[in-house]
Every structure is written in C-alpha cells, then in structure tokens.
Structure 1
Amino acid sequence: MSDTSEIVDQLAALSDDELLAVLRAATAGRPRLAGAHAALDRAQATDEVIIDADVTTDTEPSPLRESPATLGASGQVGGLSAVPAVPVPPTGIPTPAAVGGYSPDGVPTFESVRDKVEQRFGTAQGMSELDRQTPAGRSADEQWEAREKAGRERLDRIRKSLHGNDIETTEP
C-alpha cells in the first residue's frame, strides 16, 4: 500500500462530492465506523458542511471523550434503549452446541437437514409401497405390465419383419 501522505495528497485533490463518495464507500459495512458512515450519509442527503479543524492525520484521541461505561445500550451517550444490548461472546470461546437442529445463529445444522431429507424420502417410499398394495395400485401395476408385454411383443414382430425383408432384398 502507498505511504499515508501520498494517500492524503490524493484525497485532498478530490472535490468535496468525490471525497464524500470515497469515504462513504470506505466506511460501508464497517461496524466501528458506523457513526462516521451515518454522518456521511446525512451530509450527502442534506449537503451539510461538516467543519472540524482539529482533525489531522496525526491527531491523538481526545481525553474529553466519554468513557464506555457512560454509553447506553444503543451506543449513544446517555441514550436509553428499550432493547438491551446483545452480548457477543469473545473470540476463541467455543459456541454452545446446536439445539433443536439449529445453530445459535438460527441456521439449520447439516445433520438436521439430512434427517429431514431422509424422513421425506422414507415417507415417499412408504407411500408408494402402500399404494401398490391397494386394489387400485395393483390394477395400475397390472396394466403397466400388460402394456410392457404388448410393447415387447410388437417390437419382436417388427424386428422379425425387418430381418425377413433384409433376406429377400439380398437375394437376386
């Protein structure tokens, strides 16, 4: 990647609208930059001018910032949320086992999907066996076998007639 000063020089050369588009694209989908992305969205929608002369590439964090303990559940200072924050387990800790065939995220497990497929296949196979045992099912099977037999007989007659024609045409 390029040196930071080169990147800053290239960004400084952009117009405000171009820079806004680049910053929105760079902050999209980044949870820690969600506040900046929301501010950029507001700036684009309202043509709001955001002026902060204290921001430079080597600015240190301000000691006047609110501590995380004073942040509400919604992540806003003093904000109250009707919905409590969802605890996120730290990385490296194994997640609890899947309960009821679903992962903690609500995704079906491979085993549960396989069991459902096997159950549906077994049900379909059992239904076809039961259908064959009914009088209507037996009748359908008998009709199928009769058609197959008639078809084989007809095919044999056609083959014999063709072989008979081949012999007659080869003899002068």
Structure 2
Amino acid sequence: MTDAKELAVQLAQLSDAELAVVVAVATEGRAALAELHAVAAALTTTVDHAADVIDVTPDTILDGQDAQPATPDTFGQVQATPGASGIPVPPTGMPVPPGIGGYTSSGVPTFESVRDKVEQRYGTSQGMGELDRQTPVGRSVDEQWDERRKAAKERLEQIRKSMRGNDND
C-alpha cells in the first residue's frame, strides 16, 4: 500500500471538486464516517463542475521523451514489486466510482460481478449440454443410458420374482 505521506501529497494536488468526489467515494458505506460522507456528497453537488475537467495526455511518446521502463505483469503475485498489482489504477486526480469493472477500489471482485460470471458459466454449460444431446454421438449416449436403465429394471424384476418364488416354497 502507498505510504500515507505520498497519498497526502497526491490528494493535496487535487482540486476541491476532485477531492470532494474522492472523499465521498472512499467513505461510502462506512458507518463510522457517515457524517464525513454526507458532507463530501453535499460538496460534490454544490462545487462548480467546470473544475471537473481533467487534462488528457496522449499515450503516444513524442520525440525527445523517454519511454518508461517496462515492468513485468505481476498480477498480485508473492514478492511482486510494490505498485504493480496487476489491477488497473486510474491516473492521479481522477475520481473512481466503486465497482467499476467488477472490482472494488482495493481489487476485490464485487458480488454482482461474481454472480454474473457464475450465471454466464451455468448458461454456457446448459447450452453445451443441449447441443451435445442433439448430435448423433449425444443421442447414442442417451440411447445407451436408456437401454442400460431398462436392462437394470428388468434384471431387478427378475430378482424380485425369484425371491418371491423362494418365499412360497
């Protein structure tokens, strides 16, 4: 995690409107900070929104600029370099609403994103099962299953009849 002094320096560079949005987002859902959240939310509606314009810098490296050294993707691996967690981090000063992309600001998947993935996988497996049953191989497997079930049922009936026959003796 970022050092508190570094975080304070970054927050100090934000405009009032941007800082109010960051505080509102960071305190949302925290009972102990409900009053601070209410104040920050009220400020976001009253602060001049003309200050919300954020400079956009090109991704293309212009002549004379050095490229940043490439860092390997660590994706939260053990002994990964700090600051390279594999989770996309928005540029400094840009407010981040919670839950965008299916992850919280700390990188934990949201309940909704997990539920959507499970439902998608379940639907895919249902569809694949239906398609498999419609192929010749799938139909033959179903027919084999039915034949085995019938044979087992007939054999069970034979065993029951033979048991009843032995009881009468």
TM-score, normalisation: structure 2 = 0.47
Higher relative contact order (Cα pairs below 8 Å, separated by 6+ residues)? 2
Higher alpha-carbon Rg: 1
